[in-house]
Amino acid sequence: MGSHVAELAGVDLTGAPTTALAIGGMRVTGRMERVTLEIGDGSGRHRWEAPVWFCDDWTPAFGLLGLIGFFDHFDVTISAYDKRFELRPRLAGRP
């Protein structure tokens, strides 16, 4: 995510670890902070904590989902043919 997203979300990056990153051919400066995320619909909610990197000089209009912060918490199915997206929280202890 761009560092401006941290400010919009009220995430304080004071004292956050900083490192140089190369992402998609771009070099950026990232600051990492652990945040609580939540997703839900009418059938339930799922909340988890994830490390999020907020990057300076992030020009793309999108963020990247990571293995540790997102994909290890959910089973994700995307079917372009069926025009369907399914997101299911993974059960604790299940690989």
pLDDT average, residue stretch 60-80: 82
Assigned domain for 38 exists: yes
pLDDT at 92: 59
Domain count, the chain: 1
Assigned domain for 22 exists: yes
pLDDT at 95: 53
Assigned domain for 43 exists: yes
Assigned domain for 29 exists: yes
Assigned domain for 14 exists: yes
Q: Which residues contact 35 (CB under 8 A, 6 or more apart)?
A: 9, 11, 49, 50, 52
* Cβ 78 vs Cβ 85: under 8 Å: yes
Domain ranges, residue 23: 3-65
pLDDT at 80: 93
Secondary structure class of 14 (helix, strand, coil): coil
